[in-house]
């Protein structure tokens, strides 16, 4: 099981209602209640899933989920490792910038005294 950062969206679908979404390797669909018929562009076979089952999406195309009755599904997106590294790098750079700004501010003031204005 992947314990990395994720986002989860829940959808309630009625009989024959369709959910169209973009599929990618870091996205999964979990059936919480009911059943679905999943067709994914670029995948040779369709998938039928019922309550309690989870299906990994693979292609970088469209996926169509059709409810086979009243159904609740979760769409789970895992953060791609490369995206997580980019965000971490940006946060580190921002932190270093803040430290530099605070260092310049500290060097311009004397402890216990207000900065002088010119």
Q: Is 118 within the bounds of a domain?
A: no
- The pLDDT value recorded for residue 15 is 92
Domain with 92, as residue range(s), is: 80-111
Domain count, the chain: 2
| pLDDT tens for each residue of 52-97 | 999 998 877 899 999 999 999 999 988 766 655 666 667 787 778 7
- The pLDDT value recorded for residue 32 is 97
Residues 69 and 93 in one domain: no
- State CA 8 to chain mean position distance: 7
Q: What is the 3-state secondary structure (H, E, C) of 15-74?
A: CCCEEEEECCCCEEEEEEECEEEEEECCCCCCEEEECCCEEECCCCCEEEEEECCCEEEE
- The pLDDT value recorded for residue 67 is 96
- The pLDDT value recorded for residue 114 is 59
- The pLDDT value recorded for residue 26 is 84
Residues 84 and 102 in one domain: yes
DSSP class of 113 = S
Residues 26 and 68 in one domain: yes
| pLDDT tens for each residue of 3-48 | 667 889 999 999 999 999 988 888 999 999 999 999 988 888 899 9
Residues 73 and 107 in one domain: no
């Amino acid at each position: 099981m992947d314990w990395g950062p994720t986002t989860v969206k829940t959808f309630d679908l009625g009989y024959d209602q369709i959910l169209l979404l973009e599929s990618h390797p870091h996205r999964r669909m979990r059936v919480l209640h009911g059943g679905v018929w999943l067709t994914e562009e670029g995948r040779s076979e369709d998938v039928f899933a019922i309550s309690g089952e989870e299906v990994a999406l693979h292609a970088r195309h469209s996926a169509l989920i059709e409810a086979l009755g009243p159904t609740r599904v979760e769409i789970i997106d895992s953060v791609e490792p490369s995206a997580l590294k980019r965000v971490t790098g940006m946060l580190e750079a921002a932190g270093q910038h803040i430290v530099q700004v605070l260092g310049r501010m500290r060097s311009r003031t004397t402890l216990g005294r207000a900065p002088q204005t010119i």
